[in-house]
Amino acid sequence: MERLHSALLKEEVFRDQLPNGLQVYLLRKAGYHRSYATVATRYGSTDSRFVPAGAAEPLDVPPGIAHFLEHKLFEEEGGSVFDRFAERGASANAFTSYTLTAYLFSCTEAFHENLRLLLNFVGRPYFTDELVEKEKGIIEQELKMYDDHPDRVLVRNLLEALYHRNPVRIDIGGTVESVRQITKEQLSTCYATFYHPSNMVLFAAGDLDPQETLRVVRETASDGSPRGEIRRFYPEEPPAVRERRVEQRMAVSRPRYALGLKDTATGFTGEDLMRREIAHNMLLHMVLGRSSEAYQRLYEEGLIDDGFSAYYTASPLYGHAILGGETDDPDRLHDELTRILERFRRDGFPDADFRRAKRQAMGEFLNGFNSLEFIAHSFVSYHFRQANFFRYLEIVQEMPPEELRAHAEGLLDLERSSVSVVRPR
């Protein structure tokens, strides 16, 4: 078992790869009362065109099928896996993102017993035509509920405006129409392709014995040998945004506003992608973080409140920044943000602001490192993007201001921006 050591964090991760291709990472947190584990597959909502296992030609599946499959794996003959976790004193959950699906649990006792349960239920799907049809109705209701959630609608409309063809513009759960098209055979094909151990990772953290935990994993994991890379296909995305502005009226007491900035430089992986994400978020902190002059002025003028945020997110397939929140005057806020971003792009930033942003990035990371959930989810997310999460702090420390100045020109280009507004009816 390999040991990965971070001198800055004073942490050590134990790594191994099983004969079936599953990569295992174990983080011992001495003195922690709670333990946490997640098993994840590099399969998200954007993976709707691919070559299935054992096939030669690409297959198109309906949007939302990765999320649908996540729901179905918790079902087993005779009941729900949630009940079995509860019987063992564990809290279980799962989520699907644009790029991955993760299954997880936390507990304060019976960790290895719960770990076996996690590996077993993810490794043994149970599909019937009757249960698939039943699930369609459940997910349709979930999607309709999201249609009444103003913050979700705000971001969904923004991504639809930013992107022409990139599948990130489609809701992770798909649409009511696409969900109705999903079949048991399609679910089985997606499972056989994306839930092979070679496409998955297990991360566990807590006051655990790495050798004993690895023994449990080896005993429980399925047999088999590694497979090659899954061939995935994505539509070509033009650099321009699809729409500059989109508005919708809903039953809300205050308007919502979001500004999206489309990053046209995509395809990055590994540490290049991590550096880009860190740099862009540091830029956004400098220009509109809570300690910035611009944020304080907008707050004092009543244009924003504590819910205002500005963040950048990226994968090899896409990259964008989203700025916004609730506001009484979305039009005035838009004008103010436009002037702030244009001035920052033109004039740059003093080194003092850069040092403040660096301290902020390091502080947020170290604060998050107290959470097993933060560590596990961040590690898995960067792992699938071929980056080492435990290098994050070192990259922040070594990053020069010139690197951020080089990024500001592209990120803050308002010619590649879209606006989404939700107003009261």
pLDDT in tens, 138-165: 999 999 999 999 999 999 999 999 999 9
| Of 270, 375, 275, 410, nearest in space to 34 by CA | 375
pLDDT in tens, 264-296: 999 999 999 999 999 999 999 999 999 999 999
- Tokens, residue 205: 């953290």
| Of 276, 260, 259, nearest in space to 268 by CA | 276
pLDDT in tens, 217-258: 999 998 888 899 999 999 999 999 999 999 999 999 999 999
Residue intervals in the chain for CATH 3.30.830.10: 2-220, 245-424
Q: How far is the CA of 317 from the CAs of 165, 361, 404, in angstroms?
A: 12, 24, 22
pLDDT at 54 over 90: no
CATH class of 245-424: alpha beta
Residue with tokens 């993810």: 122
Question: What does pLDDT average to over the chain?
Answer: 95
Which amino acid does the sequence have at 239?
P
Distance CA 101, CA 182 (A): 18
**pLDDT > 90 in the chain, percent:** 90
Q: Binning pLDDT at 50, 70 and 90, where does residue 315 land?
A: very high
Residue with tokens 């003028």: 301
Contact 156, 27 (CB under 8 A): no
pLDDT reported for residue 186? 96
Q: CB neighbours of 240 closer than 8 A, spacing ≥ 6? A: 164, 416
pLDDT reported for residue 8? 84
pTM: 0.94
Q: How far is the CA of 237 from the CAs of 163, 274, 368, in angstroms?
A: 7, 22, 34
Give 412's DSSP letter: T
Give 56's DSSP letter: S
Distance CA 166, CA 240 (A): 12
Residues with catalytic function = 70
Distance CA 42, CA 229 (A): 11
* Residue 7 or residue 227, greater confidence: 227
Q: Binning pLDDT at 50, 70 and 90, where does residue 132 land?
A: very high
* Residue 77 or residue 289, greater confidence: 289
Pairing relationship of beta strands 11-17 and 2-6 according to DSSP bridges: antiparallel
pLDDT reported for residue 225? 87
Distance CA 211, CA 325 (A): 47
Distance CA 158, CA 6 (A): 39
Contact 71, 245 (CB under 8 A): no
Q: Up-side HSE of residue 64: CA atoms within 13 Å toward CB?
A: 21
- Tokens, residue 7: 């001198």
- Tokens, residue 329: 């005057």
Determine the angle formed by the axes of helices 129-146 and 184-194, rounding to 10 degrees. 80
Across the beta sheet with 101-107, the strand order is 2-6, 11-17, 23-28, 200-206, 35-41, 101-107, 90-96
Q: Quick count: other Cβ atoms within 10 Å of Cβ 67? A: 24
2-220 placed in CATH 3.30.830.10 = yes
pLDDT at 78 over 80: no
pLDDT reported for residue 385? 95
pLDDT in tens, 375-403: 999 999 999 999 999 999 999 999 999 99
Helices within 254-350 (DSSP H only): 270-288, 293-300, 330-347
pLDDT at 64 over 90: yes
Q: Binning pLDDT at 50, 70 and 90, where does residue 79 land?
A: confident
pLDDT, average across residues 76-89: 88
Instruction: Tell me the torsion sign for CA atoms 274, 279, 285, 291.
Output: positive
